[in-house]
Amino acid sequence: MKYETLFNHQRIQKIGFGTWHIGGASVPNSALDERSLSALRSALELGYTHFDTAEFYGGGHAEELLGRAVCESGAARETLFIASKVTPSHLRFKDLLRACEDSLRRLGMDYLDLYLIHWPSGSIPLEESFRALNQLVAQGKIKHLGVSNFDLAQLKKSQALCATPIITNQVPYNLADRSYLQNGVIAYCQAQNILVTAYSPVKEGRITVSSRLQEIARAHAATPYQIALAWLVNQPKVITIPMSFDPQHQAENLHAADIELTEAEMEELD
């Protein structure tokens, strides 16, 4: 497994486990509980230590299920890296403080390793949001701060307002979607020692599998989806958070971090 090292020497897995669809989509769906818990349990058993969730996922139910699975696993809290995100509607000072407390309560945890603004707000100033986020860090409820879906100007403003380093910008990035490469965000993050957390790394299994991608996969005794993940994590400062309910696919995703692509293969995929 490859890791990235943060400014305080904490390490984070290059391939983590995303929780979108765990416990529902944007609202809770208890009918998915057993399937969701089974997925989380197998991920923990396979060796995932980096988990990404959000108060939006399952209307908070994803956080509840993740907290339950972690508790049942007996894993020591300090061995895990848990990230969650606050919705744009909760970016007012008091709302944000309350949203973080609610996330911690649902997770059954005392702190988050990472807390991100899920999407920028068009009406709530970042100054107000970061006043709350900086307070949460000072109180020890959050270890690191990040943003998600921020363009270059929003990211730079966040850096100026944040009392501690912004450690990541979570954006859509995969073989088919290079929009944040084209708008300069990824190069800026790499230059500034900010992690790019690539979400939708295989477009939920809908990436186009070309004949060349299949050839590269065969050369590494891997699946095309593993190569798509390897292409991401072979890049400096890029990590990713695929999700699967299938234990076999979870294992394949995790092991994709160990695939070393050649310079020529990276250039072809680029």
The string over 232-246, giving b where at least 16 C-beta atoms fall within 10 Å of a residue's C-beta and e elsewhere, is bbbbebbbbbbbbbe
Catalytic residue among 48, 57, 180, 199: 57
Q: Are 90 and 128 in contact (CB under 8 A)?
A: no
- Rg of the chain over Cα atoms, rounded to whole angstroms, equals 18
Catalytic, 225? Answer: no
Cβ-based neighbours of 37, under 8 Å, separated by 6 or more: 65, 68, 69
Inter-axis angle of helices 247-255 and 224-233, to 10 degrees? 40
Give the whole-angstrom CA distance, residue 96 versus residue 89: 9
Question: What is the rounded CA–CA span in Å between residue 35 and residue 43?
Answer: 12
Catalytic site positions: 57
